[in-house]
Every structure is written in C-alpha cells, then in structure tokens.
C-alpha cells in the first residue's frame, strides 16, 4: 500500500476541526477536579496504627469551598462526614463551570465512601455529570482481599475484580489520617501504598509535611442588604499544616488539626479554599448570573493552557518538526522512541515513511514480540470488546485483508462518523459508538477499540498538537505494523503528521501527567517542513 496521505483540507478548515476536536484539555481538567480530587489520587493504604488513632478522632461535620482558577471562582465544593456507631460515610461534591471553547460547560462530581469505624473501606461510588454521557464508578470490598469494580456508562458498565494485599483507604480521607494519625510537625513524612483504580496496580506515594501556618477562614455569613451579597459574619483563626505528595500530579493542601482541608492546589491551575456556605455557593451563583455564559479568550481553558511557540508554521501536514523543550523536568515522559528522537533539549519528530506503512509477516503472539503486544490487543475499561464494537469493525473492514488498508478504513470511518465536539467526560468506546460525537479522546478510544477488535495492536498516545502557532493538548492512536505508527482519526491522517509531540502512552491515568507541563513547558520551533 502507498503511504501517501489523502489531500489535507484547507488550513482554515483543518484549524477549525483542530480547535473543536483536538483541543481537549477540558478532559484533563475534569480529571483533575473529579478523579484527581476524589479518586485519581488513588486508594491509599496507610499504616494500621495511624488508621486506628485517626478513627477514634473522626467527628461528623461539613465544610464548604470555593473552586477557583486564576483568581476567579468557577465552582463550589463540599465535604461532609457522617458517623454512626458502626460506620462512617464521607461525601464529597464539586460543581464547576469550566470556560471552554467560548462558553461555560458545567461539570459535577460526587463521591460517597462508606467505611467501618476502623476506617476500612466497605464501598464507594464516584459519579461525573457533564454535558456528555454520565460516568459512574462503583466499588465494593469483599473481605479484605477483593475489590469489585464497576466502571463506565451506568447503562453498560465494565466489571472487574481486583486482588488486594491490604485494606484500602480512599484519598478524601488522606488529609484526615495524615494529621490525626500522628501529631503533625514540619519534616514529617509518610509513605503510602497507592492503588490506582485505572491502572489496577499499587504505587508508593510519599506525603510530606512541609510547612505550618495560621489562616483566617469565614465560619458564618450574613447578607449585606446594600450589595445583596453574602459577607463574613464571623471568622475563625485555624492552624494548618501543608501536605505535599511526590506523585506525578503533585497534590498540595493546607490541613487543619481536625484533618479538614483549608486550602488545596489541584492539577491544572485549580484551587479550593474553605469558606462559609453562603459565601462559597450563593455568591458564586450571583456572579454566574451577572457574567452570563459567554467566555472571553483570556478565560478560556483551551486558550490559556495552550503553549505558544516562537514561530507560526503554515503547513497542513508536517513531515518533520524540530523543537527545543525547556522549562520543566521531562523525566518519566514517553518522549524518545519511534518517530521521536530526543537529543539534549531538542526533540525531532519525523512522520513515518511509506516503507513503514506495511507489514509483510504475521505476528506470532507466542514470540517475545507477540507477548509484548498483548496489552495493545486486550479489552480494558473504556476499550471493551463490546458486541457492537466487534460488529462495526467487521462491517468497516469488510473483506479487506491488508493491515494498512484496514487501518485506513477504520481511521477514515471514525473521522467521518464522529461530530467534532469538545466534551467533558471519561471516554468509553462503546458509548462513543452510540453517541457519535466527541473530541480527540473519543476519537482515539473508538478507533483503538475497533482496531483491537480486528486484531490490530493499538495503543493511545497523548501530548501536544501544533496548530496555528500554538501547541494544544491532543490524543491519538498508534498501531503496530513493522513498528509503531501514529495515526489520527480526529484529523483524518494516516500516518499522523509530525506536528504531534508524544509525551505519554496509555489511558487517562497517564494523560493526566500532562497537567504538570501547563505553565512550565516552553517550546521553541527550530525547524519545520
């Protein structure tokens, strides 16, 4: 098969598609707000003695927060603990209006965790409500050895069972355990065993106490009849300690002596700050009504998180791009390898040559090469072998046997069949097949599921796409032919052009690592052709 790419659409059309479909930092922001704040920071298993001490000091109560970004309140959050003689229920809720694509899009997250009086998790539910398909994750611990998980679209969830080696504790109670378990002091350090519900594997995370300070927080509010806004009626002075994790998406929070968050920095430039309910919620509603739904460019997440380059390259399909990456530590990112080569601080990306778009042998799955490819063929949450996925893939490829031709057919079908729409949510291929819309994450998920259903090893890459002189968040698949080849169903490219800078390989749990590049990574274009 020829490796020539079909003619690219005019630059203006391509740029419009890119901005609607490829610029999907919104998904990562929701991941930060929801799964990072509630579940993405993993399920922690701290020391048993800390748990026992903390459990005795858990008190019922509720605290409320303003969710802010760049100094502007964009949402409201609450954290509530209810206790009985036999169990503790922790409920966390967050709602935010995210400025995306010229309009505000509302996202709501809620987690409900039920624990024993010794703080052992019995069950939990996490839900995400957005303008796309609702997402829900449920977990139930059987004994101390098995976690039963239900993840995805509530109408058709993905089920799995995970073996546990120790009791688990959800992240919303980590501040409580870290402070109530031992007397907090600067320099204190605790290493926790972390269970990632996406990658289904434990990870060590270290929590450090790095500072101590006093904060004045509003305890109650009153209505100012002149301004018709809520103001502080009474304020408390609280002592708090700053906790910081060493994970890829660094989490830092100021926590008081009761283990309740006072302030916290979330990935993606988001913050939460404790306030009286009326000040946190009622004033936010008033501000929203006054502002309306229009979003200016200086507020738009899609624009303010883009990384400007030093050069505007008006090329529809780059064959080679050389950039200098500075400003942040790139250790741990999947930058070097395949079409990408890193030399010092300079990254060169070359579009795959025509000879790479072929395969003249059948891969033996029993060989070392085949065994390494098995993860790229397996069904997994969000990429299941749903009967509708399998039937659709078979219908698309028909009787075509050439692997490259089949890749082209699948890529073109996904590109043509999905409406290009910026969404907020967790992509699920079966759901995308039904809704037929989404941004780059939905395109990548559906293509990957279809390709795997046809026995084509496929994985998801994520990083930055070069569009109109800026680098935007983007995700795309890679298929294994003679080697890994990047394709892009969002742009309709086989292979994807060299304007794709890969930083991660894997699902959203890895893509969230890109959040730490925001505001730190600097990109200078050295050459492009």
Q: pLDDT for 466-517, tens place per residue? A: 887 888 888 999 999 888 999 999 999 999 999 999 999 987 667 767 777 8
* Residues 336 and 496 sit within 8 Å (Cβ to Cβ): no
Peptide bond connecting 461 to the previous residue in cis, omega within 30 degrees of 0: no
Q: Which SS3 state, helix, strand or coil, does residue 94 take?
A: strand
pLDDT at 448 over 90: yes
pLDDT tens profile 363-393? 777 888 888 899 999 888 788 888 999 999 9
Tokens of 202: 């434990």
What is the percent of the chain with per-residue pLDDT over 90, rounded to a whole number? Answer: 32
Find tokens 């309306």 and name the residue.
292
Domains of the chain: 11-23+306-528 (3.10.620.30), 32-291 (no CATH)
Give this prediction's pTM.
0.76
Tokens of 330: 């790139």
**Partners of 203 in the beta sheet?**
194
Task: Give the separation between CA 179 and CA 120, rounded to whole angstroms.
Answer: 17
What is the percent of the chain with per-residue pLDDT over 70, rounded to a whole number? Answer: 74
Greatest CA separation found in the chain? 78
Strands 437-438 and 419-420: parallel
What does the pLDDT read at residue 247? 56
pLDDT tens profile 235-284? 999 999 998 876 555 567 898 887 788 998 876 677 889 999 999 999 99
pLDDT (average), residues 220-240: 94
* DSSP per-residue string spanning 351-363: PPPGGGS---S--
pLDDT (average), residues 326-344: 92
3-state secondary structure 244-278: EECCCCCCEEEEECCCCEEEEEEHHHEEEEEECHH
What does the pLDDT read at residue 130? 75
pLDDT at 423 over 80: no
At residue 144, φ and ψ (nearest 5 deg) are: -115, 10
What does the pLDDT read at residue 349? 96
Confidence of residue 19 (pLDDT cuts 50, 70, 90): very low
Residue 413: closest CA among 442, 382, 450: 450
């Amino acid at each position: 098969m020829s490796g020539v790419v079909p003619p690219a659409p005019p630059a203006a059309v391509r740029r419009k598609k890119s901005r609607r479909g490829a610029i999907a930092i919104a998904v990562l922001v929701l991941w930060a707000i929801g799964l990072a704040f509630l579940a993405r920071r993993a399920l922690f298993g701290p020391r048993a003695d800390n748990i026992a001490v903390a459990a005795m000091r858990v008190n019922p109560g509720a605290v409320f927060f303003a969710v802010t970004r760049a100094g502007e309140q964009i949402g409201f959050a609450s954290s509530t603990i209810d206790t009985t003689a036999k169990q503790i229920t922790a409920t966390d809720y967050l709602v935010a209006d995210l400025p995306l694509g010229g309009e505000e899009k509302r996202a709501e997250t809620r987690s409900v965790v039920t624990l024993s009086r010794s703080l052992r998790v019995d069950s939990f539910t996490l839900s995400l409500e957005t303008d796309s398909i609702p997402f829900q994750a449920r977990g139930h611990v059987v004994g101390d050895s098995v976690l039963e998980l239900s993840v995805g679209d509530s109408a058709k969830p993905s089920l799995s069972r995970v073996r546990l080696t120790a009791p688990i504790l959800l992240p919303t109670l980590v501040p409580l355990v870290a402070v109530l378990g031992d007397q907090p002091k600067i320099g204190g350090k605790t290493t926790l065993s972390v269970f990632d519900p996406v990658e289904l594997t434990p990870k060590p995370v270290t929590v450090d106490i790095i500072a101590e300070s006093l904060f004045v927080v509003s305890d109650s509010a009153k209505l100012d009849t002149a301004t018709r806004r809520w103001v502080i009626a009474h304020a408390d002075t609280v002592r708090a300690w700053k906790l910081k994790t060493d994970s890829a998406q660094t989490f830092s929070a100021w926590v008081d002596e009761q283990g309740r968050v006072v302030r916290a920095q979330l990935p993606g430039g988001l913050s939460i700050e404790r306030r009286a309910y009326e000040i946190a919620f009622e004033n936010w509603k008033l501000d929203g009504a006054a502002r309306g739904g229009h979003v200016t460019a200086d507020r738009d997440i899609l624009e303010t998180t883009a990384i400007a380059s030093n050069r505007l390259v008006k090329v529809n399909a780059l064959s080679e791009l050389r950039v200098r990456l500075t400003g942040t530590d790139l250790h741990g990112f999947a930058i070097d390898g395949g079409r990408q080569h890193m030399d010092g601080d300079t990254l060169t990306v070359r579009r795959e040559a025509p000879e790479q778009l072929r395969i003249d042998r059948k891969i033996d799955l029993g060989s070392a090469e085949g065994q390494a490819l098995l993860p790229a063929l397996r069904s997994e949450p969000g990429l299941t072998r749903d009967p509708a996925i399998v039937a659709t893939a078979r219908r698309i490829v028909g009787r075509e046997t050439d692997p490259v031709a089949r890749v082209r057919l699948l890529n073109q079908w996904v590109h043509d069949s999905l409406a290009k729409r910026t969404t907020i949510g967790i992509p699920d291929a079966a759901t995308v097949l039904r809704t037929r819309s989404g941004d780059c994450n939905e395109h990548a998920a559906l293509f990957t599921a279809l390709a795997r259903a046809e026995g084509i090893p496929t994985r998801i890459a994520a990083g930055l796409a070069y569009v109109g002189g800026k680098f935007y968040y983007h995700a795309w698949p890679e298929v294994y032919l003679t080697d890994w080849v990047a394709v892009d169903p969002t742009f309709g490219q086989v292979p994807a052009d060299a304007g794709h800078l890969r930083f991660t390989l894997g699902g959203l749990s890895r893509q969230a690592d890109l959040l730490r590049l925001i505001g730190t990574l600097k990109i200078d274009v050295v050459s492009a052709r």
